[in-house]
Structure 1
Amino acid sequence: MFAFYKKHNNQLYNRLIGLSRDKFFYDNIKLSDDFETRILLIFFHLAIILKIAKGSKYQKKSQETFDNIFLNIEYNIRELGYGDVFVNKKMKSLNKTFYDILINLDKEKILFSRNTDLLKKYFFTKGKTEEEKMHKLAEYLRKFKDFCFDLDVNIMLNGSIDFKYR
């Protein structure tokens, strides 16, 4: 008779959107300012957060965070006017991409300047790879990781991340 819906906390999703829109990526690194690039940036940020939160103590909260982020991405794709078939194929592709990033983002060697194969694969595939831009992106993500390591995991998973790169 009554439907009870769990209210989602979109604060982390909104914060990841804000981080992916940082002008640093588009002015300094010259990444293309499109939906795919922003999704990839969200995935790299989220993968770092989930790697840090890894552990049985935060497993349920991490899963809820993952589900909420992907639900919001699906809603946004639907808002762009795509139908069910396209959305399902796109979400399957995005899921594979995210898990590839998550699996290959080794916590111990996370984004060192000399280990940038993952960044090359997703951001610098067209034409000549520009090493300086790739190293800037690796440096940004390394600083983001260092910033997140200093935060309480619950605060981080709730979206209270006030990271400023400069």
Structure 2
Amino acid sequence: MFSKYKPHNNSLYNKLVSLSRNIFFYKKLQLKDNFESRIILIFIHFSIILIIFKSKNREKFPQLIFDNIFQNIEYHLRELGHGDVSVNKKMKILTKIFYDILLKINTGKSEDFLVNKSIIKKYLDDQNKINDVFLEELSHYIEYFYNFCFELNTNSVLKGEINFKY
């Protein structure tokens, strides 16, 4: 029933949170600064990392790190005051959203990365007024992040050593 929260191995999660707090999203794109927007941005960044990891490695992404990221999200939901039933329902929804983003964010062929703008619109449009300029700027950011991370060593990415500036 209760899972023990393990605060180690949070470096990748902390980096994903840091990336989701980039002032670009809230000043330039004028996203609403709320839990839902940040979670979607974390999922977008994490999906890109998983896509890169899969294309560069024959190994699987470390399950412990994957589990830790979702455990942190669950922990933060509890910190926000959600109860057990509410957290379980919310985590089920968030997991479906994550996998939807992961499977659909890239519309490019095997070596090309092209952002699927409809998936961005689907998850960020309820909170924001999305237009073509917004989609272009966010797509450019995501493609730039993909290219930046593709050049990094996968071990350094797993350690959260992503010094990305945009």
**Shorter-normalised TM range:** 0.7 to 0.9
Note the C-alpha offset of 1:154.
1.1
Contact 1:116/1:138, CA 8 A, preserved across alignment:
yes
Counterparts of 1:59-70 in structure 2 under 5 Å?
59-61=60-62, 63-70=63-70
Note the C-alpha offset of 1:41.
0.1
Q: State the identity %.
A: 51
Note the C-alpha offset of 1:130.
1.1
CA distance in 1, matches of 2:96, 2:114: 20
**What is the one-letter code of the residue matched to 2:54?**
K
Note the C-alpha offset of 1:53.
0.7
Note the C-alpha offset of 1:58.
3.2
Note the C-alpha offset of 1:126.
5.9
**What is the one-letter code of the residue matched to 2:51?**
K
Q: Could you say which residue in structure 1 is the equivalent of 2:90? A: 90
Q: Could you say which residue in structure 1 is the equivalent of 2:113? A: 110
Secondary structure at 1:58's aligned position in 2?
coil
**What is the one-letter code of the residue matched to 2:19?**
L
Q: What number of residue pairs does the alignment pair up? A: 158
Contact 1:43/1:101, CA 8 A, preserved across alignment:
yes
Contact 1:48/1:145, CA 8 A, preserved across alignment:
yes
Q: Which consecutive unaligned segments of at least 5 residues does structure 1 have? A: none
Q: Deviations over 1:93-139 (max 9, x none)?
A: 00000000011123635344xx4111111112468531101111110
CA distance in 2, matches of 1:19, 1:117: 22
Contact 1:111/1:141, CA 8 A, preserved across alignment:
no
Q: Could you say which residue in structure 2 is the equivalent of 1:154? A: 155
Q: Deviations over 1:43-81 (max 9, x none)?
A: 0000000111116643152x2221110000000000111
Contact 2:32/2:128, CA 8 A, preserved across alignment:
no
**TM-score where L is the length of structure 1:** 0.87
Contact 1:111/1:139, CA 8 A, preserved across alignment:
no
Note the C-alpha offset of 1:8.
3.1
Contact 2:16/2:42, CA 8 A, preserved across alignment:
yes
Q: Which consecutive unaligned segments of at least 5 residues does structure 2 have? A: none
Counterparts of 1:1-166 in structure 2 under 5 Å?
8-54=8-54, 57-61=58-62, 63-106=63-106, 108=109, 110-112=113-115, 115-125=116-126, 129-165=130-166
**What is the one-letter code of the residue matched to 2:125?**
F
CA distance in 2, matches of 1:26, 1:111: 23
CA distance in 2, matches of 1:154, 1:19: 18
RMSD: 2.1
